[in-house]
Structure 1
């Protein structure tokens, strides 16, 4: 029998459909979308067939011809209108995100605003795609122009149902491109709400298309198509390499925001209590399912015991539960398959000598909950020192000095985000120069804003989203040389 909360949840959850060529559609093949806190089915998600993908590609090509000729100001005004609609529907969208993902409602509300901010920033950037004139000694007129790259095939993950699709859609539309988005099957509501907003704002048919289905089948069909000129992915490094190889076969550009295993360097001069408590709170945000999540804490040995005690106490006190309940700080993992992976990583670390300070196991009988977990003195031979846990697990290790901390921070293939806590200017300079990441933050665990370029180095990807650099991947650069005489 459905409870009142179940009925309220269903009333705010959107109908699940594909959006192709300006029309919503269903298909006979469907997948269940499940609430990870209750394991109740929220709805059935239609999966795209090859015929749907063919129609999406045709629609995107037609939409491109309209949208690329639309003035930057007109594009910006429409994007801003859609962002305003999303802001007005913050509560409805947040309720849907919490239902399908499990994150606390307060975090889901903030995600809706962040998604709208991505659109608003890129809308402004659409009007600042400047070319330039190059003086020529020969008297010729030389200029540089930027043009939309074409049809974009984009793939977004399940950990941020709205803000991750927003990054891809905002970049494409602001640049004058059309886009086919394959959003996450487990958390489709955010993308559906974005499409609804653009439909109501008057976006021309075919400019934005939304599909769901088996990821390998959709990428395998779309990426080799000659009309696809950019592949944009936020996902794991393994998947990123596969899609990059596929795109290379047709010389298609890629924009890859891939995995991370973020180091946090805690120097001996910092405020130990504040650094520990902020680290524990941020580590458990989104149940640790964040590519920039602070995970490998390298703490100066003089303050290690105090830091570890404060960090562990705050992590253990994290309020875990259904994201719709008041006071909840951490919801479930987004899907059941994360539980055995996290359990194996903890067991492997402990078997190799790590100390389990708190947590380490599944929590409760229903829902995909995992305890906030802290491991200390973890040896480098443990899998979790190299593998991104993508869950609520923190690693605390002592270091002798800053040199050792930087060396250990750089000891993994990933290089997405890194953090440092210190008040010394020389330490700050050494970390900025020495830590190999695309995003480095000092005395804060915030890694990304709409106005800043976001992306990784090494195995964490290529290209940037956000900031003044955010539209570069979606544009081509053309050199125009006009000679006044035939030479």
Structure 2
């Protein structure tokens, strides 16, 4: 059993019990058993954390006076500490989230890369001189936006933490993080590393709790200058609406129903492997998962056959076992949602090729599921399932595939598998999505911006563009007369 070291609220580099005295359980999805009781932050705790972040951001504070290069060194130190403790953090993530241990380790490495990447940016964020009309000297200053409320999901807890903290801290903001109530453990451990790295008190604060209480309080607090949220489109809309009362800056990375087009000139076996991985990775709990796979009619039957073989050989079970590639879903609520959508696919006439049921063992395990002959009007074709459920569609022409790829309220990602560069460029130019992947899927990097079109979100994370979400531009003009 992995030892749980931190269960309290982290404010001002100190550990606190909730002011209400309330706690909530975090559950091991592999066993359905309680791991630990976590202090449940509510409005009073959030307000206390925000006050600490406001104080740390004041002009003249240690954090505001710190050289930009020193901020970069702190981020590098944090990355080094995560690297030192990577085995423990990966095991803690697997315990709390249920993802297979090798995948959890990959997540830790991705977080390390993000911290190091933005550490390098800390002293390279600068304004411009402007040749304005008249006898004036004009220039811009790039300043941190201020106190940032950050709300992260349960599917990639430590990666999402790094994606939020790294650019915010590189630019000089202070943060209050609300981790998902299903997976608070790695975020809380990171609080201890914040202290060890040497960040001043109040720069980073962590308040575990529920969305309607802790999350809503963070959005509503008038002293919070920006909200960064990753999660469902439904909650993102609510956050955007509530944040408008105080005109907070808002960035949202929301849901998706990503298409992947398989052309007739691409190797069928390789395509089926890429498509399966793009859909099933992380138990299918990925916002940009390739859940709509459009396959050319000339190779469709063989592709369906190969997809079933790949799904059936996936090893589902204890995420700490070396052979496991698919762990449990995150909780009972998500499991029931997935199963209900699978039943809708059966009832609406999609052909169930393999899977389709909950596994008969303790834990929230669902069989890898493949539906063929899916129609665009079906619920499984339109709604985000967030589970190990692949949907296969047949198409005739690339123009048809492009039109159907765009026929969704989402626009987070899309992909095409082709040996024709003209097809690749046409698809990339025509599909409205924040990321277009060619001859692969989910090939992401901390150097490249990520975010969505349409109802998949507002703003971008990662890359240089990720810095912009945490900055304000100030124009200074000096009259030279």
TM-score range, shorter chain: over 0.9
Deviations 1:183-212 (A, max 9, x none): 011111221232221110010000000001
User: Quick one: which of 147, 150, 153 aligns to 2:146?
Assistant: 150
Q: Which residue of 2 aligns with 1:24?
A: 15
- Does the alignment pair 1:296 with 2:292? yes
Counterparts of 1:471 and 1:335, CA distance in 2:
33
Q: Which residue of 1 aligns with 2:66?
A: 70
- CA shift, 1:137, in A, is 4.0
Q: Which residue of 1 aligns with 2:371?
A: 375
- CA shift, 1:52, in A, is 1.7
Q: Which residue of 2 aligns with 1:54?
A: 47
SS at match of 2:403: helix
SS at match of 1:68: helix
Counterparts of 1:306 and 1:68, CA distance in 2:
61
* Pairing of 1:103-142 with structure 2 (within 5 A): 103-142=99-138
Counterparts of 2:7 and 2:278, CA distance in 1:
32
Contact 2:308/2:370 (CA < 8 Å) preserved in 1? yes
- Does the alignment pair 1:92 with 2:91? no
Q: Which residue of 2 aligns with 1:320?
A: 316
Counterparts of 1:112 and 1:237, CA distance in 2:
26
Contact 1:235/1:259 (CA < 8 Å) preserved in 2? yes
Decide which moves more: 447-456 or 458-467.
Answer: 447-456
User: Quick one: which of 221, 224, 228 aligns to 1:232?
Assistant: 228
Deviations 1:255-311 (A, max 9, x none): 100001110011111111111012213322110001111110001101111111111
Contact 1:122/1:171 (CA < 8 Å) preserved in 2? yes
* TM-score using structure 2 length: 0.97
Counterparts of 1:219 and 1:368, CA distance in 2:
26
Counterparts of 1:220 and 1:469, CA distance in 2:
27
SS at match of 1:320: coil
User: Quick one: which of 276, 283, 296 aligns to 2:279?
Assistant: 283
Contact 1:161/1:191 (CA < 8 Å) preserved in 2? yes
Q: Which residue of 2 aligns with 1:413?
A: 409
Deviations 1:11-51 (A, max 9, x none): 3x332111011101223211111110111211001101333
Q: Which residue of 2 aligns with 1:219?
A: 215
Contact 2:42/2:213 (CA < 8 Å) preserved in 1? no
Contact 2:71/2:119 (CA < 8 Å) preserved in 1? yes
Decide which moves more: 323-332 or 14-23.
Answer: 14-23
- Does the alignment pair 1:424 with 2:417? no
* TM-score using structure 1 length: 0.96
Decide which moves more: 131-140 or 244-253.
Answer: 131-140
Deviations 1:398-436 (A, max 9, x none): 101111111111111000011110011110111111111
Runs of 4+ in structure 1 displaced over 4 angstroms? Answer: none
Across the aligned residues of Structure 1 and Structure 2, the Cα RMSD in angstroms comes to: 1.2
Gaps of 5+ in 1: 1-7
How many residue pairs get aligned? The number is 476
